[in-house]
Amino acid sequence: MMKKNILFLCTGNSARSQLAEALMRHMASDQYQVMSAGMKPEDVDPRVYQVLAERGVCADNLQSLSAIDIHDQHFDVVITLCDKASNECALFADSDALIHWDFKDPKPMEGVEGFRDTFDGLQTRIALFLMLNGENQHNVVGPVELFKIMSDPLRLRILMLIEDEQALTVGDLTKILDVSQPKVSRHLALLRDGGVLQDQREGLWIFYRLAEQLPVWIRHTLATVRNGNPGMINQEKLKLTQIKDRKKPGFSLKTHSQIGA
């Protein structure tokens, strides 16, 4: 697989972007070709090497570069780490993605604690970036399409119930949402045709669940909405417990992980 080029951009290329470059190389392995640069480059702060050594991250080949000197190179992703650098993204206008992570400059602070805090913050951001942009993240649904889908209150409740229960039938949803079967079926068909859900027949019933190839960022979004609004489907959950004849699918909670969900 061809490596993607990623650039961390900051003002001085002496602290934040150096930590980010070393961390990305450490965490992403061979997935990315990583560089960092600055708008007004300065020498690498010695505290960068101290923190990287403490955390067991290789600091080899770190050097301060000028963004001007590499402006003609193509980068798949450019991540700016301060507001001043963010204003200079025009230098890399042909990049596939321009991202801004705003981190406070640790250099004016005494001691090394500010560098440790920056390291920890970058580690969290980079881990999330790598999780959501892995090799197998197919863009079945784009952000605009996803939020259009979620903007409908009924579809959102359907998604939250399926995210929570893992698999439900049209009959289950009709009963607990108190809406007509044709209306539920239309919404399920839209979600299935859009690649968000998939169906599977188990005996007389067809169960709907999240699509196996659903990108991690969409799963992460749905889980965040569900966990951030835990009372959203309380009444529906209570009704669900009262459905005595509910049939369990083959990919129930006990076997769900075995089929790649």
Query: What are the residue numbers of the active site?
Result: 10, 82, 89
SS3 of the chain: the string is CCCEEEEEEECCCCCHHHHHHHHHHHHHCCCEEEEEEECCCCCCCHHHHHHHHHCCCCCCCCCCCEHHHHCCCCCCEEEECCHHHHCCHHHHCCCCEEEECCCCCCCCCCCCHHHHHHHHHHHHHHHHHHHHCCCCCCCCCCHHHHHHHHCCHHHHHHHHHHHHHCCEEHHHHHHHHCCCHHHHHHHHHHHHHCCCEEEEEECCEEEEEECCCCCHHHHHHHHHHHHHCCCCCHHHHHHHHCCCCCCCCCCCCCCHHHHCC
Query: 21 with 36: CB under 8 angstroms?
Result: yes
Q: Which of 121, 129, 120, 118 is nearest to 34 (CA)?
A: 129
Q: Torsions phi, psi of 128, nearest 5?
A: -65, -45
